[in-house]
Structure 1
Amino acid sequence: MQKTYEIWGFAKRNNYTIITFDADFYELQVIRGFPPKIIWLRFGNMTRQEFIRFFEQNTERIKDYLDSQEFEDVGCLEFNQPSLNVHAYRRRRSTISGRGTLRNLR
């Protein structure tokens, strides 16, 4: 868990987004709020080509999540499968208030 705190602190200090398969970062965000923002990949192993294809297919969604004011109160973008089930976790101040699908992202 110490590494998780170190990565969290580094990302927060440098305004980075954490991309992870690990639930620890989401759980830490529930407690501490954000920044940093998290992109949580919740799907199994994949080949390097499949991983590259995932990011190619979801580049606009991810950019919208990171750059759009519409999603400035969204701390975690969750992908349950490489191309399906995108969820965002919104917060009020430092707590999570709900979960909703980002339907308006490309």
Structure 2
Amino acid sequence: MRLLFDQNLSFKLCQMIADLFPDSNHVRSHGLSEVADRALWEFAKANGFAIVTQDVDFAELAGLLSAPPKVIWLRAGNQTTATIAALLRRHAQTIQSFESDDSAACLEIY
């Protein structure tokens, strides 16, 4: 699964989980840090990314528009980058299963 981290998450996550999700990127690397949510949604959809976010707006878009793209909504509150990386590692199997579940558009991770 290709993950696209939104602007509220560190770009360092791409390197920290590269062994599990090697083609992941950050919005910053695509010049998308300041775009509207819908523009980011369309970019992720066109480029085969799942959006990783702490923003409820993307979860709501997933409910409204369905997938693609899929949304991974991190519900752990403000945490360090290392804690977020550990959270993604802990749920890597669930994330992989989520990718293949055509009926699911949003995965909430706590």
Q: TM-score, length-normalised on structure 2?
A: 0.63
Q: Secondary structure at the match of 1:72?
A: coil
The one-letter code matched in structure 1 to 2:46 is R
Q: Percent of pairs identical after alignment?
A: 36
The 1:57–1:28 alpha-carbon spacing in structure 2 relative to 1, beyond 3 Å, is: same
Structure having the larger proportion of residues in strand = 1
Higher relative contact order (CA 8 A, sep 6+): 2
- Tell which structure's C-alpha radius of gyration is larger: 1
Uncovered stretches (5+) of structure 2, i.e. residues with no partner: 1-34
CA RMSD of aligned residues (A): 1.7
2:104 aligned to 46, 57, 74, which one? 74
The one-letter code matched in structure 1 to 2:106 is C
Q: Deviations over 1:68-98 (max 9, x none)?
A: 3xx211111011x2xxxxxxxxxxxxxxxxx
Uncovered stretches (5+) of structure 1, i.e. residues with no partner: 82-106
Corresponding residue number in structure 2 for 1:61: 94
Give every structure 1 segment of 4 or more consecutive aligned residues whose post-TM-superposition deviation is greater than 2 Å: none
Give distance in 1, aligned partners of 2:82 and 2:64.
Answer: 35
